[in-house]
Amino acid sequence: MRFGNIFILIVLMAVPYKINGQFLSASDTSENSVKRYKNIINANKDIVEFIEYSLIQKGLPKHLRNLALIESGFDRRQVSGAGAAGVWQFMTAHANQYGLSEQNRSDLYKSTKTATVSLTNLYKKYNNWVTVVAAYNCGEGNVAKAMQAAGSSQYHMFYRYLPLETINHVRKYLNACYATGELQSVLSDYNNSRMNMIFEGRGEQYSGNGSLAETEINAGFNLDIIAEELKVNRDEILAWNPGIMEELQNKGESLLYLPLDLMPDFLLRKNKILSRSIQQLSK
């Protein structure tokens, strides 16, 4: 689903994006939670190794093993009250969509092969694993309705229109990824997806630099105002951008490096920051 650039910017500014918000972070980082997830993984090493191997063969990240973890605890005999079956908890309709028979939903090998195809297709559609996990739980139709209701294709905007079960499912997934040390990878993937959408809408190119992303600014930008708008210290901006003051003074322009979770907010506030900077300069 695509929206006009202006409409996207208006909607995104209406609801602040918080990477540390409960819906996009681990909601339970307790020792008991971490231990519980790790114990289930350790008790099912053979199954976990097979699933991870299957994911790698398909070019998918290993953290998707956590989807099977929260779906079934790796129990191939499990059947939910709604009728979902097997390690991957396929509903009959979802399974049939990929040629998986009803009885084979409990077959670890066949269901895992089907799951990798399904997850690959979902990622091609949504471009981030957070939304993929949501769609896997409640279906693409419900995700489409939520996006339409929110006027946004970004999970942190439309999640509130999803079933509560799905919202909790995504939280469980993030909790499991925290337990396995892969949460940052999931969140970075989400941030990259969000930034790519914004850059594409502006006709710009996204360039990552490790845990930082870059964009260009000119000497009209005031670093104090950038810091104020992003709610960070000026010293932090200088630490991420050594030599930026000299670069702006001598060349009139410079690359600006910001953490992945801050760059989208800078891009959305870029015009406001420049306007405030110019006003400050004229005082």
pLDDT band at 43 (very low <50, low <70, confident <90, very high): very high
User: What number is the average pLDDT over the span 124-136?
Assistant: 96
User: What number is the average pLDDT over the span 117-133?
Assistant: 96
Res 179: pLDDT: 97
pLDDT tens digits, one per residue of 90-102: 999 999 999 999 9
pLDDT band at 199 (very low <50, low <70, confident <90, very high): low
Res 156: pLDDT: 82
In whole numbers, what is the pLDDT of the chain averaged over residues? Answer: 85
Res 157: pLDDT: 80
Res 12: pLDDT: 34
Res 25: pLDDT: 80
Q: Is 60 exceeded by the pLDDT of residue 3?
A: no
* Nearest of 198, 241, 188, 233 to residue 217 by alpha carbon: 241
Specify the pTM: 0.68
Q: Is 80 exceeded by the pLDDT of residue 197?
A: no
Higher pLDDT, 71 or 25: 71
Q: Map out the domains of the chain as residue ranges.
A: 19-193, 206-282
Res 42: pLDDT: 97
User: What dotted CATH number matches 19-193?
Assistant: 1.10.530.10
Res 198: pLDDT: 59
Res 21: pLDDT: 36
User: What number is the average pLDDT over the span 16-43?
Assistant: 78
pLDDT tens digits, one per residue of 208-245: 444 678 889 999 999 999 999 999 999 888 888 878 88
